[in-house]
A and B are shown apart, each in its own frame.
Chain A
Amino acid sequence: MNDYVIEAYDLTKIYKMGSVEVRALAGVSFKVRRGEVVSIMGPSGSGKSTLMNLIGCLDQPTSGRYILDGEEVSKLKDDQLAEIRNRKVGFVFQSFNLLPRATALANVELPLRYAGVSKGRAERARRALELVGLAERIHHRPNELSGGQQQRVAIARALVNEPAILLADEPTGNLDSKSGKEIMELILTLNRERGTTIIIVTHDPRIAEQTQRVIRLMDGLIVEGGA
């Protein structure tokens, strides 16, 4: 198996807004090893989220090659991308993005359902919730949970399919500093104990410090840590 989970070669992303072109990424190349924890930093508008979208196969680059877990994804169709996202990527969003009507368990089960898993699904979801320390809260709905707990549910949901990478775009941005710290600890523990590859977008230098490598973006280009 390949040493690299992510290989990106000269990725660009251009948004067309009417006649104006916004060059969100202007040629980005980098690799991420299996089991690595990488943080992406940069000023607002520098292209961090755009890059995360490409890494997570939510979007296709305008040009460039992208290989995720040994699979060339830049040429895949929408439904194939959906399958890749389902199997290989776990997302953690700044705003949690839980289904408000569903219980924690049902939220965590969702990726398994789209994967077509029916046997042992609830059990797997329950174990993922246990892993993030929410064994007691599996039947709670999001509005019955604190922000930190909601983000834990989101992390459990991101992990339940055992993806190749976990992507977290400012995961602590909506949390108070105490729960933010706890979430970061949880994420780093997952990396240490399970070897999950993790990419975190953050503004917080203290969080970046805890990661093995920092990739710095500026105006759609990598200015540091691309190796």
Chain B
Amino acid sequence: MNIAQAIIEALQSLASNKLRSALTILGIVIGVGAVIAMLAVGSGAQQAITGSISGIGTNLLFVFQGNFTEDVRNPKPLTLGDVSAIRDVFLAPSVANAAPVIQGDREVSFSGEQIRSTIYGITPDYLVVRNYHLIEGEPINESHLLERASVALIGPEVADKLFGAREGVVGSTIRIEGQPFRVIGVLEPKGGGAFGSQDNVVLVPFDTAQNRLIRRSRDRVDVIFVSATSPETVRSAADEISQILRERHRTAIGADDFTVFTQDDFIATANTITSVLTIFLGGIAGISLLVGGIGIMNIMLVSVTERTREIGLRKALGARRRDILIQFLTESSLLSLIGGIIGIGLGWLIAFIVGRIAAANNTLLTPVVGVDAILLATLFSTAVGLFFGIYPANRAANLEPVEALRYE
């Protein structure tokens, strides 16, 4: 018997028990659909996060207090002195600029509207280092710092929520923790980020924040944003910064009490997290595919029992072991293949809907149904059908013709 005939015959046999076949296929449809959707959402999340990290700027480095991987006793805080040292051209030739930041989440309100935003106390360098541009208004300058002026640059999301507009808001007075601040400019959107929205921010002069909003002791800095002279010098800039801080914090021996992150580090960390997430989601989806496979096995076993006489007859007419094996394996593979194909469609649909929901919620998550995921799902589901079909098919093929013909 050739394959085309085996397929036609298997289709006829599956068609003769439509409801049963459909339900068995449904198990695979759900399994494959779940796998496809989960992988799509996972890789969509990965791309969104990678994209938003890349949006930060390729030259950028971050310096945090403390060590994320090892315990250090009495970590020294980062200070403005550290910032000056990092800006020293001779100590750190690969560093172009460094900006100290203190930050905290605070209530921001304007005529009854109230939201929670991240407040950054910044110096004018921050806008340069982060490559921020303004939709309107003017940046924070040195005299704002000296005067501890009550001025603020607001992110586009803040503008949207408080004013319902991104333009024509300069000159308005917003309140941060109840204190009045004059809006002097609106930031261009940077998009949603891995660490909360980069657009839901309010930037105020460093000294103002230090004194009135975030309250840090004199020299204290939360994060130092550093730009390297070029994307190629990011690594050496990181080394130079580490060197300087080890000396200043006297941690030449032992673990560092600070952490230097580059954009690549962020991407690598984020990728690890999203990969784990994708594998986890895919794994759970895979379990449902497995359950679908067991459904196939179950139905094929029933089918073999029901058709014992038919198998006996076929053997009497000259069917070899292999012929019977192929007949039943074709049926189980077809069940899973059909289920797989419909499941790919379903997964695609789910991914699409998830993307739409994400878009409606202003999240930059576009699920990606990759060719590799489709191939994987098709191969995997057919393999499931084959694997779970082997036992029933073998059972059929091993039936003794006489016994099978006597079966009632």
- Interface on A for B, CB 8 Å cutoff? 53, 56, 58-59, 78-79, 82-83, 85-87, 91, 93, 97, 99, 101, 110-111, 113-116, 118, 157, 161
Closest 9 CB pairs of A and B: A86-B318, A114-B318, A79-B320, A82-B320, A111-B317, A97-B313, A59-B402, A58-B401, A58-B402
- Distance (whole angstroms) from the CB of B21 to the closest CB of chain A: 14
The yes or no answer to B321 lying at the interface (CB within 8 A) is yes
User: What are 5 pairs between A and B in contact, CB < 8 Å?
Assistant: A82-B318, A91-B316, A101-B13, A110-B314, A114-B317
Chain A residues with CB under 8 A of B323: 114
Chain A residues, CB < 8 A from B320? 78-79, 82-83, 114
Complex CA gap A161/B320 in Å reads 16
Residue numbers in A under 8 Å from B314 (CB-CB): 110, 114
Q: Which of B12-61 contact A (CB under 8 A)?
A: 12-13, 16
Chain B residues with CB below 8 A from A53, complex form? 402
Indicate if the CB atoms of B12 and A101 lie closer than 8 Å: yes
Q: In residues 56-113 of chain B, which contact A (Cβ within 8 Å)?
A: none
Q: Are A113 and B5 in contact (CB under 8 A)?
A: yes
Given contacts A85-B316, A111-B318, contact A97 B401 (CB under 8 A): no
Neighbouring A residues of B318 by C-beta, 8 Å: 82-83, 85-87, 111, 114-115, 161
Q: Is B405 an interface residue (CB 8 A)?
A: yes
Closest chain B residue to A116, Cβ basis: B1
**A82 to chain B: which residues have CB within 8 Å?**
315, 318-321
Additional pairs, 6, CB under 8 Å, beyond known A91-B316, A111-B317, A161-B318 = A58-B401, A58-B405, A85-B315, A85-B317, A97-B316, A101-B12
| Minimum CB distance partner of B2 in chain A | A118
Q: Which chain A residues border B319 with CB–CB below 8 Å?
A: 82, 114
A157 touches which one: B5, B317, B322 (CB < 8 A)? Answer: B317
A209 to B314, CA, bound (A): 32
- Verify B405–A86 contact, CB threshold 8 A: no
CB within 8 A of A59: which of B310, B321, B322, B401?
Answer: B401
Known pairs A53-B402, A101-B13; A114 contacts B1 (CB<8 A):
yes
Contacting pair B316 A58 (CB below 8 A): yes
Residues from chain B with a CB closer than 8 A to the CB of A87 are: 318
Q: In the complex, which of the residues A53, A58, A93 has the most CB atoms of chain B within 10 Å of its own CB atom?
A: A58
Of all chain B residues, which has the CB nearest A161?
B318
Residues of A within 8 A of B309 (CB): 97
Q: Which residues of A have CB within 8 Å of B322? A: 79
A115 to B79, CA, bound (A): 89
For the complex, give the distance between the alpha carbons of A56 and B318 in Å.
Answer: 11
B402 surroundings in chain A (CB, below 8 A) = 53, 58-59
How close is B88's CB to chain A, nearest CB, in angstroms? 86
When distances are taken between beta carbons in the complex, the residues of chain B under 8 Å from A85 are 315-318
B173-189 interface bits toward A, Cβ cutoff 8 Å, 1 = contact, 0 = none: 00000000000000000
Q: A201 → chain B, closest Cβ, in Å?
A: 14
Give every chain A residue within 8 A of B2 (Cβ-Cβ): 118
Residue on A nearest B401 in the bound complex, by CB? A58
Contacts of B310 in A (CB 8 A): 99
Which chain B residues lie closer than 8 Å to A93 at the CB level?
Answer: 405
Chain A residues, Cβ within 8 Å of B13? 101
Determine the chain A residues whose CB is within 8 A of the CB of B5 once the complex forms.
113
Nearest residue, chain A, Cβ from B318: A86
Q: Given the complex, which residues of B lie within 8 Å of A111, measured CB to CB?
A: 317-318
The interface centre, meaning the residue of B309, B313, B322 with most chain A CB atoms within 10 A of its CB, is B313
Q: How far is the CA of A114 from the CA of B315 in the complex (A)?
A: 9
Q: A110 and B316: CB pair below 8 A? A: no
Measured in the bound complex, the distance between the Cα atoms of B402 and A58 in whole Å is 6
Chain B residues lying within 8 Å of A101, measured Cβ to Cβ, are: 12-13, 16
Considering the complex, give the chain A residue whose CB is closest to the CB of B310: A99
What's the least CB distance linking B18 to chain A, in Å?
13
Residues of B within 8 A of A114 (CB): 1, 314, 317-320, 323
Cα distance A56–B401 in the bound complex, in angstroms: 11
B317: contacting residue among A86, A116, A118, CB under 8 A: A86
**Could you tell me the distance between the alpha carbons of A114 and B13 in the complex, rounded to whole angstroms?**
18
Q: Which residues of B contact A113 (CB under 8 A)?
A: 1, 5
Q: Which of B315-353 contact A (CB under 8 A)?
A: 315-323
A144 to chain B, nearest CB (A): 16
Kindly state the separation between the CA atoms of A82 and B400 in the bound complex, as whole angstroms: 11
In the assembled complex, the CB of B321 is this many whole angstroms from the nearest CB of chain A, namely 6
Say how far A82's CB is from chain B's closest CB, in angstroms.
5
How far does the Cβ of A220 sit from chain B's closest Cβ, in whole Å? 16
In the complex, what distance in Å separates the CA atom of A121 from the CA atom of B357?
58
Question: A157 contacts which chain B residues (CB < 8 A)?
Answer: 317
B314 CB, min distance to chain A CBs, angstroms: 7
Q: Give the interface centre of B315, B318, B400, B405 by most chain A CB atoms within 10 Å.
A: B318
| Residue of A whose beta carbon sits closest to that of B1 | A113
| A interface footprint on B370-408 (CB within 8 Å = 1, 0 otherwise) | 000000000000000000000000000000111001000
B317 cross-chain contacts in A, Cβ below 8 A: 85-86, 91, 110-111, 114, 157
Tell me, in angstroms, the Cα distance from A184 to B401 when the chains sit together: 26
Residues of A within 8 A of B405 (CB): 58, 93, 97
Distance to closest chain B CB from A170 (angstroms): 13
Bound Cα distance A93, B406 (Å)? 11
- In whole angstroms, what is the CA distance A91 to B313 when docked? 9
Minimum Cβ distance to chain A for residue B99 (Å): 78
Q: How far is the CA of A93 from the CA of B400 in the complex (A)?
A: 17
Complex CA–CA separation, A179 to B392 (angstroms): 40
Closest residue of B by beta carbon distance from A110: B317
Cα of A110 to Cα of B5 in the assembled complex, Å: 11
* Complex alpha-carbon distance, A87 and B317, angstroms: 9
A79 and B316 within 8 A (CB):
no
Question: Are A78 and B316 in touch, CB under 8 angstroms?
Answer: no
